[in-house]
Amino acid sequence: MTEAAQVALVPGSETETGSTLSVRGVTKRFGGVAALSDVSFDVPRGELLGVIGPNGAGKSTLLSLIKGTQRPTSGEIVFEGQHRIDRMRAHSVARLGISRAHQIPRPFGRMSVRENLLVAAHSIGPRRPASAREVDDVLELCGLPDRAEREAGTMNLLDLKRLEVARALALQPRLLLLDEVAAGLVAHEIDEITALIDGVHRRGVTIILVEHVQALVQALAERVIVLDWGRKIAEGTAREIAENPEVVRVYLGTRGAEVTREEPTRAGPERPAVLQVEGVSVDYGKLRALRSIDFQLREGEIVAVLGANGAGKSSLARAIAGLVPCAEGRILVGGEDVTSQLAPFRARKGIALCHEGRRLFSELRVRENLELATYSGVSTAHRGDLFERVYDLFPLLRERASSYAGELSGGQQQMVAIARALLSDPRIVIFDELSLGLAPQVIDQIYEAVGQIRSWGVSIVLIEQSAYRALAIADRVYVIERGRVSFSGVRHELEQEQALREAYFGIQKDPTSPQRATEGGSGEV
């Protein structure tokens, strides 16, 4: 490669051939956990490769290994056929021509946009920093020329995302890593960031795109690989991936045992609402995770909340439980406005959250973990009855009451987490990713317990990525896409799962079919 090609703002040409990156048998372990297992793929020069997968699949770990911020346990990562970057430090990797734009922009807030780019440009080291003209070219490409002298900390989220990409481009990358750069953006903003990425790619930059917004992957990626639990399970075009049975299973789950496929008992419309979410929005800094969500849960009802990773499901759970504030809207429990109340007060109103990832005190015994829940206002006289009820639900917990929580299997820990939520004697339980990481037979047992919990008169919000499992027992379902409700109704109104496929994969089987009217918000889908 000539020196001119090495220092160009966007190096590479159509005449160049070969692989920009080769990942060969890469494994990354954190203690006994394998975040990546024997992953291999090549990225030809000039390709835009999409990388997708559910939470915990290993996508961000993969980017960290390529960027040099972490090192693989085994395997090789080779850049441009000659550089073993898995042995190099992050700054050396960057100077070779690999840069990364992160999901959450963190510019120098008191510096101008141009100054942020100059900092990046002058960090290249021995390679020639970008000239003033080339910085202007990056500003133009990223739609920021009229904001060049503005302080970065004063800009809106879309412009911050543009700046994050621009900072990465100021490093004159041969390989650009994009880590969920569309997260938190709404439909027209996603269109703009899609156009930006497409413009960068058209200049010849090789790109690896990790993204939860599947419409963006569909629009841009020439090839997609799918990771699940650290392993590459599929590879192909975006449409081939959306139709791949194994990928569909990973994203939507399995249908479960025969007993779970029975038609659920419908809660009659005359039953009162125990929970109402009215026009609720949630912000994390300048990132809006939920947008004007309307949601209702009736007495004795199971309502499933479905959607792809990053859609906003957990943010809804945390907003209801009082763990994050509402930027807009209000939340009512039994008709009482609790929007301004903190989480402990909402717990006393009867809301219990069973967290994603369980979040047990691993160094406490099972009984001690459970006892903590009873301090939310449960009377001493009632505690014994509650313990008997959860022990009847999960007899194993009675046997393992003296065991440390950290010694239990994943399924056993999930039982402890469910029991802990129930020991606060709630009227509403929110289960966040109930089946995540569990074996199928354990999931069957957990879902049988959910049906029993409903029979006690407890209303349930079931937030799940394993859509089929949740649909089997739910009375109604909400699908969340990009922070908005894109569908609400009963299970059969999903029209043979088409609404789910569109939400999870961003691909319509029949592009000529009319858009369905939805309830509970006017989100763009």
The Cα 369–Cα 390 span in angstroms is 13
pLDDT tens, position by position, 422-476:
988 899 999 988 877 677 778 888 888 998 999 899 999 999 877 777 888 899 9
Residues 396, 415: contact at Cβ < 8 Å? yes
pLDDT at 377: 65
In a 3-state reduction of DSSP, which class is residue 75?
strand
Q: Is residue 488 within 8 Å of 520, Cβ to Cβ?
A: yes
* Percent over 70 (pLDDT), the chain: 84
CA angle 162, 502, 324 (to 5 degrees): 60
Query: How many whole angstroms separate alpha carbon 497 and alpha carbon 519?
Result: 17
Mark 155-177 as b/e (b = at least 16 C-beta within 10 Å). bebbbbbbbbbbbbbbbbbbbbb
Q: What is the pLDDT of residues 78-95, one digit of tens each?
A: 999 889 999 899 989 998
Which among 234, 295, 301 has a CA at the least distance from the CA of 484? 295
Strands (E), 221-376: 223-228, 231-236, 273-284, 287-298, 302-306, 328-333, 336-337, 351-354
Give the HSE-up count for residue 307: Cα atoms under 13 Å, Cβ half-sphere: 27
- What's the pLDDT score for residue 185? 79
pLDDT band per the 50, 70, 90 thresholds, residue 260: very low
Range name among 58-72, 244-258, 347-361 with the lowest pLDDT average = 244-258
- pLDDT above 90 covers a percentage of the chain that reads 42
In angstroms, the CA 267 to CA 253 distance is 25
Q: How confident is the model at residue 496 (pLDDT cuts 50, 70, 90)?
A: low
| Highest mean pLDDT pick, 15-29, 151-165, 208-222 | 151-165
Which tens digit of pLDDT belongs to each residue from 105-125?
Answer: 889 989 999 999 988 888 776
pLDDT confidence tier of residue 522, bands split at 50, 70 and 90? very low
The residues that bridge with 464 in the sheet, in sequence order, are 306
pLDDT of residue 302: 94
Q: What is the pLDDT of residue 255?
A: 55
Contact 45, 237 (CB under 8 A): no
Helix axes 157-169, 132-141, angle to 10 degrees: 140
- Give the integer Cα–Cα distance in Å for 442 and 393: 14
What angle separates helix 187-202 from helix 157-169, to the nearest 10 degrees? 10
Residue 431 to residue 12: CA distance in whole angstroms: 49
Which residue, among 46, 49, 42, has the nearest Cα to 81 in the 3D structure? 42
Which residues contact residue 205 at a Cβ distance below 8 angstroms, ignoring those fewer than 6 apart? Answer: 10, 11, 12, 46, 169, 173, 174, 175, 176
141 falls in which pLDDT band (50, 70, 90)? very high
Instruction: Report how far residue 431's alpha carbon sits from residue 420's, in angstroms, rounded to the nearest whole number.
Output: 12
- In angstroms, how far is the first alpha carbon of the chain from the final one? 44
Does 296 have pLDDT greater than 80? yes
**Higher per-residue pLDDT: 188 or 520:** 188
Given this model, what pLDDT does residue 460 score? 95
Q: What is the pLDDT of residue 25?
A: 95
Confidence (pLDDT) at 494:
64
pLDDT tier for residue 340 given thresholds of 50, 70 and 90: very high
Residue 58: CB partners within 8 Å, gap ≥ 6?
28, 35, 36, 39, 227, 229, 230
Average pLDDT, the chain: 83
Specify the pTM: 0.70
Helix (H, G, I), strand (E, B) or coil at 278: strand
Q: Which has the higher per-residue pLDDT, 147 or 500? A: 147
